[in-house]
Amino acid sequence: MAAGFLLQLTGVPWMPSDGALHGPVVDRLMFWNLVALCVAALIAHLWLGFAIFRRQSAVGKFPAMIRWGLIASFCLMYAWMALTAQRLWAANRYFGPSTAAMQVEVVGEQFQWYFRYPGTDAVFGITRPQLVNAAAGNPLGIDVRDPHGADDIVSSILTLPAGREVDLQLRSLDVIHGFFIPGMRLKENTVPGMMLHVHFTPVSPGTYPILCSQVCGLGHQRMQARLLVLPAADFDSWLAGREQAQARRTGQ
Amino acid sequence: MKIFTTNHRALGILYLYLALAAVGVGTILSLLMRFHRVWPNVTIPFFGLMKPEDYLALVTLHGTLMVFFVLTTAPQSGFANLVLPQQIGARGMAFPRINATAFWMTVAAFLVLVSGAHTTSGGVAISGWTSYPPLSAIPSAGPGQGLGMDLWLISIGIFCVASWLSAVNMLATILGERRAGMVWSRLPMTVWAWLVTSILSLLVFAVLLAAVVLLFSDRHFGSSFFIPAGDLINGRIVGHGDGSPLLWLHLFWFFGHPEVYIAVLPGMGLATSLFANFARRRVPAYLAMAGMLVAIGLLGLVVWGHHMFVSGMNPYAGTAFALTTMAIAVPSTVEVVGWLAMLWGGGMQLRTPMLFALGFLSFFIAGGLTGPLLAQPALDAYLHNTFFVVAHFHLVMAMAGIFSVFAGIYYWFPLMSGRLMNETLGKLHFWISLIAAYGTFFPMHFAGLAGEPRHYDRLAGPAMSFPSLIPVERGITFSAMLLAAAQLIFLWNVFASARSGRTAANNPWRATTLEWAAAADRKCIERGPYEYELPSGQEGFHPQWETIVREE
Amino acid sequence: MPATFTRNQVEIERKDPGIGGKPPVDRRPTGGGGDGENWDNQPQGRRGPRELLIRYRLGVLFALAGDLMFFIALVSTFFVRQSSGHFDVHENFINDWRPLAVPHILWLNTAVLLLSSATMEMARRQLFREIDVMEEWLGLGRPAVKRAAPWLAATLALGIMFLAGQWIAWKQLVNEGFRFISPDPSSHFFYLITGIHGLHLVFGILALAAALTGLFTLKKIEFRQVAVDSVSWYWHAMGLFWIFLFVLLEFFQ
């Protein structure tokens, strides 16, 4: 967003540059909302300042017409905000992803994010909390007896291809965490006992921080990870490499 | 003054002392946090090097103290006890003993909460003032989540019962004890506000109490209301039923959002009274203003889901809550435009209470306007739990609330001590506080826009850093120190003025409401609360205790 | 409602809220509370006899409104918890709610509680009979007390019977293996709801005992009326709450 970029040049902190398909709409809405609210706050304060420094006026009563007109125009502003934002919310959240979306599972546990790819069979294997053992290389408790689980890839970096829709399946092993990628304008809590889905399309290759936005214990601030968006070809070779490595591992 | 008094005015002052103690502790905690955020590796005197769990404990205690023991006790229980019976012409509260019991239970709740900091090995709870389970439900989920969390729950449980008792007393007083002639359309706006906050307290603290009981049962009696199946904490499976953490969020925020209005509505009522008094004007569209206070309170009961847009709640529910939340902006706008219209004529007397009321208005506008922005789930999905939200609620709830408390203390000080507070010191206190408060909380908007989450004890991390925020954060910390220092002026002013301030006249602000009436002037009420701007009145205003002189 | 008094002067004046018209000569502020310090120098004035009653009724009404919210929160939790579950590894929806067969003695308990509400109402009405009030004012003894005391005592006995019945129900459940400390959400709710309601009834029984004592010790008839009236509204509300809770526990498992 040009205005945001200009602001960043002036050194005023602003939203980080956006890497998602739906990001520009969010940024534009955010910008115009902030402009409208700043103008409203400014006018109110100018009004207040004017009234403070004004001597007693002969006109006692403020015209009621203008009062109700002001209120009505504010109501219009709120209606505009509600409508535009609802359209965006509906577009992002009401409907699931397209069938071609890539499946990735995000698992939060106290102070670590894990990302699981379904592997060559495109099906996530069964997990059981009883089997969770990070020291033994199974932080998500994947059941090795399940054939779907054998080829699952678990990573601590979320690697995604640019330009393809991603369906994230969010869950948590222990407490509520907040899955927040500022660069993708995306946030959803991971709630234990619930399987939540969000979908988005990363478009700009690069590295983006992933943060925990819901206080989850003493390591809350450390609970960060990286999102690596790769060009499609690079991603394919990365995925192929991981799949082969996984096959070698389970083949042993 | 007896300590175990049932006199409502003495209880009001005691409530204010309690709030002062809580705000003092809460401010020191916030300064420790601010200091740590800017210099994370510096050892703090008397505290030592701050560990991450210490920071979270500070956040939790700061939030709990400020929300429950400052912003709920001072504007509602404190001021209502101080003047409410007089304002409606009653001789006292309906149930003075219940009222006193509520106060001492609040003190007990405060002591239980603070004792967590000293007596327990794990320290204070670390799950924030919202205490989301399973973090708050499982003692092994973190330091402070054992005995510290139990103490938090017990404290809040006691506080809920105290608020319930206090609300019963207030409602019975407002409904049953009004003087003859004190009809609804003659109530001062503060009484309207206390009526609404009492109804809210009655309804929402009961729900919080239920939630606290259920969470306590989860922690100690093996139930699973909030703990889901297969929940794995510290390598041990603790979840054996199908509880739902979201259930706590719903119960908590059903309380938590009206709680915000409990904190800020009395300020709105007081500001209306002070604007009328110091601008010598009638309140335009009195019934609309009073009705909008009620509307804000009632709508406040159906907006709790806007705290949960990204919590895993159904997105359609998100839309519904977004619309109700947007609807609440309308009565708030009516109030603000009403105040601005009232002040438009100018010529106001800028005494200290009026300055603080104007400060309240400024914060209410500045903080309130970001409300409609945060009410949009699509934008909240970015801003939720960032510093933008911290900026929003500190301006609209904390600063607006505390400025209205200051306005009330400067205004009603003669009723407490028979003396006026020092004007010069008061104005100094106001201007430094105003500038420092904006300096502290306004830049947090930018930190939030940059994506900085709440509850982080430092700016850096394994995956991110905010180099552009470091100067901003320093500025916030310096500003917060200035803000805290300015309160020393206030403390000095209070204690010096109580001892040797200027003796107040009978009705020092030439106000119309009944708390200023001399005892002999208390008759049947025939006048509205704000009869100012009279061309030919003997004083230019008619107090409510004046009777209407008739020709015949 | 048979709440009657011989109306005296003060009460007639108070009927008029005084919105318009000439201010009456004898306007007195509403009565105050029990605070010792009469800080605004208000002359005490005579209170209307209904005033204290109305104040306490308001107080009981609001207290019960808050209490009702507490039970509403519990009941909504009941429904949420009943429907919540999780998907197991094979994508089957698992719900751990085992319906609880509520002990049959609860039907008997409910009847006892309803009966106690009826006796409570009889006791309350005895105190508001105009002829009795008149007789007492004329110094002809305390007929109201004599009439009300047996009804109050009956309520007390029935209340204790109800609690004993609840205790038997808990015993039966424990024998069937439904303990409070057990992984069953339905039994948690049963113990929680009946327990908290029982706690309310314990307070109610203490209040009943206090009212019964007050019936004989309180000097003024107003105070006796207030004591019995407040307790009776509380008792009726607990009966009403119990019917809702019992229907919930019995039919919505």
Q: Would the pLDDT of A110 be above 60?
A: yes
Which residue in chain C is spatially nearest to A127 when comparing CA positions? C89
Reported pTM: 0.92
Quote the ipTM score: 0.94
List, for residues B30-87, the tens digit of each pLDDT value: 999 999 999 888 888 877 788 888 899 999 999 999 999 999 999 999 999 999 999 9
Which residue in chain C is spatially nearest to A142 when comparing CA positions? C89
Place of tokens 């006193």: B100
How far is CA A27 from each of CA A2, A182, C12, C170, rounded to the nearest angstrom? 10, 12, 68, 60
Report strand pairing: A102-109 vs A166-172. parallel
**Would the CB atoms of B386 and A225 count as touching at under 8 Å?**
no
Q: Which of A200-209, B20-29, B452-461 shows the lowest mean pLDDT across its residues?
A: B452-461
Note down pLDDT in tens along chain C; length 253 residues: 334 443 333 333 333 443 444 444 333 444 444 333 333 333 333 446 678 888 999 999 999 999 999 999 999 999 998 888 777 777 778 787 888 888 899 999 999 999 999 999 999 998 888 777 777 777 777 778 888 899 999 999 999 999 999 999 999 988 887 777 667 788 888 999 999 999 999 999 999 999 999 988 888 888 888 999 999 999 999 999 999 999 999 898 8
Question: Taking chain C, what is the end-to-end CA distance rounded to the nearest angstrom?
Answer: 39
**Would the CB atoms of B337 and A180 count as touching at under 8 Å?**
no
* Close Cβ partners of B213 (under 8 Å, ≥ 6 residues apart): B157, C192, C196
List, for residues A126-165, the tens digit of each pLDDT value: 888 888 888 888 899 888 888 888 889 999 999 999 999 9
* Close Cβ partners of B37 (under 8 Å, ≥ 6 residues apart): B457, B458, B459, B473, B477
Which pLDDT does position A10 carry in this prediction?
A: 66
List, for residues B226-246, the tens digit of each pLDDT value: 999 888 998 888 877 888 999
**Would the CB atoms of C30 and B90 count as touching at under 8 Å?**
yes
Which pLDDT does position C96 carry in this prediction?
A: 79
What is the pLDDT confidence band of residue B278, given thresholds at 50, 70 and 90? Answer: very high
Q: Would the pLDDT of A45 be above 60?
A: yes
DSSP B322-354: HHHHHHHHHHHHHHHHHHHHHHTT------HHH
Angle at C58 between CA C163 and CA C13, to 5 degrees: 140
**Would the CB atoms of B284 and A62 count as touching at under 8 Å?**
yes
Which positions in chain C have a beta carbon within 8 angstroms of at least one beta carbon in chain A?
A: 86-87, 89-90
Contacts of residue C86 in chain A, CB cutoff 8 Å? 193
Distance from CA of C60 to the nearest CA of B (A): 8
Could you give the CA distance from residue A144 to residue A125 in angstroms, rounded to a whole number? 8
What is the pLDDT confidence band of residue B520, given thresholds at 50, 70 and 90? Answer: low
Q: Would the pLDDT of B170 be above 60?
A: yes
Q: Which of B125-139, B500-514, B529-543, C193-207 shows the lowest mean pLDDT across its residues?
A: B529-543
**Would the CB atoms of B141 and A217 count as touching at under 8 Å?**
yes
Q: Would the pLDDT of A252 be above 60?
A: no
Query: Which C residues, 48 through 87, put their C-beta within 8 Å of a C-beta on chain B?
Result: 54-55, 58-59, 62-63, 65-70, 72-74, 77, 80-81, 84-86
Could you give the CA distance from residue A61 to residue B341 in angstroms, rounded to a whole number? 8
Contacts of residue C59 in chain B, CB cutoff 8 Å? 94-95, 98, 168-169, 172
SS3 call for B500: helix
Asked whether B145 and B169 are in contact (CB, 8 A), the reply is no
Mutate to test the interface with C, among A123, A126, A132 (most CBs of C within 10 A): A126
Query: Counting beta carbons within 10 angstroms of the beta carbon of residue A191, is it exposed (0 to 12), middle (13 to 18) or buried (19 or more)?
Result: buried
Contacts of residue B524 in chain C, CB cutoff 8 Å? 18, 23-24, 27
Which residue in chain B is spatially nearest to A67 when comparing CA positions? B337
